[in-house]
Amino acid sequence: MAAQTNGPLPPDLRRLALPVQEGWTFLPLDDIRYLSADGNYSRIHLGTGRDVLVTRTLSALEQQFRPDDLFLRIHRSYLVNLDYLRHYHRARQGVVVLDDGTRLPVAAGRRAVFEELLMQLFRY
Q: Is the pLDDT of residue 10 over 60?
A: no
Highest mean pLDDT (candidates 11-15, 25-29, 64-68, 103-107)? 103-107
Q: Which of 16, 10, 20 is nearest to 35 (CA)?
A: 16
How far apart are alpha carbons 124 and 101 in whole angstroms?
A: 22
Distance of CA 120 to the CA centre of its chain: 18
Domains along the sequence of the chain with CATH: 14-121 (2.40.50.1020)
**More confident of the two residues 17 and 81:** 81
pLDDT digits (tens, 9 = 90+) for 78-113: 999 999 999 999 887 899 999 999 999 999 999 999
Residue 53: per-residue pLDDT: 87
How far apart are alpha carbons 16 and 65 in whole angstroms?
A: 8
Residue 78: per-residue pLDDT: 98
Q: Is the pLDDT of residue 2 over 50?
A: no
